[in-house]
Amino acid sequence: MIKPHGSDTLNPLFVYDPAEREELLHEAENLPSLMLNSAAAGNAVMLGGGYFNPLTGYMNLADALSVAEHMKTTDGLFWPVPVLNLTNNVDGIRGHKRIALRDPNVEEHPILAVMDVEDIEEVSDAEMNLMAEKVFGTTDMEHPGVNTFMNLGRFAVSGPIQVLNFSYFQTDFPDTFRTAVEIRNEIEERGWNKVVAFQTRNPMHRAHEELCKMAMERTGADGLVIHMLLGKLKPGDIPAPVRDAAIRKMVELYFPPNSVMITGYGFDMLYAGPREAVLHAVFRQNMGATHFIIGRDHAGVGDYYGAFDAQTIFDEQVPPGALQIEIFKADHTAYSKKLHKVVMMREAPDHTKEDFILLSGTKVREMLGQGIAPPPEFSRPEVAEILMDYYKSLNK
């Protein structure tokens, strides 16, 4: 099986021993506590699940700046995006070496993790701007990722953590949320050697379905892991339970039995385009995938990134050997009226735009909102029905 990133075995930061976890929870009740923001809580969940292996906690400022600028920590570990615990107020924890981290996304704010504080550093505007520029490629506050990042706070609290629960993800998505540990174990149980991972924050239309099948066929994969983001998105995106239902219906009807795992992870979308694509590859390697599909405008938003920037970053900025996972580079896929099947557009050079069935996201949302199913060449009718029901519920 493919090795995790940066170590021989996966080292999740979740405390699996029930007695030890109980003891830590008891200790944490008497510790000074810090209310995390949603981004830092997502980082804790990812660290807990082994997705951010081999990190042991939140980065200090030197590591965060080094990662932003050079895609490696100060001691040389390849890493694409700073993993920070930023906050605006450190009055309650200053001078304390051990603190409890509270969950902002769950009622009554239970303790999410216990942290050994190694440093509390003030981050300057210039340093925040540098990180935003390097990670997002822009400091434009209209960019949703930049806007979120710049408002997280100006104090970086760094140090190792022990994670005590998985926030709302395990309770709200019991059938879908899986840690990297669980996915690795299941891949092993199924006897899969080559595994393709597919990232999604949207329902999957016919083109996505066929792209996954193409990737499996061309890589000789034994199985596919559809891995959906379960955290916060930008306004207007389709909520996770609806996406989940739509994807499950598609897999049930249109994939061979036992060829697909439907899973999800607890993290907020960064919309960081190329850098986020590399982060996605890192944690897919950690969960045991050998291949990862990256298509057009992966993890992008608006017009901030070129259509294939998330692919070229692997050739131009990821050092050879930094990752073991292989990237399956995909072009835009669409249904060809000429060939009567979904193809990658670059593989149909004799086609014009008119030869494909192409619908913009806006157009599809409009159709679904009006109770009109997109053509079956674009969206499976059973999937369209689930999405139409969702849009209908918004108009009530």
Q: Which residues are catalytic?
A: 201-202
The answer to whether 1 and 288 have CB atoms below 8 angstroms apart is yes
**End-to-end Cα spacing for the chain:** 49
In this structure, are strands 291-294 and 326-329 parallel, antiparallel, or unpaired? parallel
Joined tokens for residue 43: 């980082």
The answer to whether 34 and 93 have CB atoms below 8 angstroms apart is yes
Joined tokens for residue 28: 């944490």
Joined tokens for residue 390: 């969702």
Backbone angles phi, psi at 311, to 5 degrees: -95, -45
Query: Across-strand partners of 294?
Result: 329
In this structure, are strands 57-58 and 33-35 parallel, antiparallel, or unpaired? unpaired
Query: Across-strand partners of 356?
Result: 336
The answer to whether 113 and 163 have CB atoms below 8 angstroms apart is yes
DSSP codes, 236-291: TSPPHHHHHHHHHHHHHHHS-TTSEEEEEE-------HHHHHHHHHHHHHHTT-SE
Give the Cα separation of 215 and 366 in Å (integer).
Answer: 30
* Residue entry with tokens 């965060």: 64
Give the Cα separation of 204 and 206 in Å (integer).
Answer: 7
C-alpha distance from residue 214 to each of 36, 330, 377 (Å): 41, 10, 16
Q: Which candidate, 151, 126, 154, 131, places its Cα nearest to that of 141?
A: 151
